[in-house]
């Protein structure tokens, strides 16, 4: 169970970062 939760958490974190990065890029431009 711990492994599954960790994997899921990593995926969500990556997704959030991707969205944040896109927004930051747009703001900088």
Euclidean distance between CA atoms 21 and 18, whole angstroms: 5
Q: Residue 24 gets which letter from DSSP?
A: H
Can you give the residue range of the structural domain that contains 16? Answer: 1-28
Q: Residue 3 pLDDT > 70, yes or no? A: yes
Euclidean distance between CA atoms 19 and 24, whole angstroms: 9
Q: Residue 15 pLDDT > 70, yes or no? A: no
Place of tokens 């930051």: 24
Place of tokens 């711990």: 2
Euclidean distance between CA atoms 19 and 9, whole angstroms: 16
In the prediction, which pLDDT does 20 show? 72
- The tally of domains found in the chain comes to 1
């Amino acid at each position: 169970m711990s492994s599954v939760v960790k994997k899921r958490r990593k995926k969500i974190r990556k997704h959030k970062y991707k969205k944040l990065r896109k927004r930051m890029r747009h703001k900088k431009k």
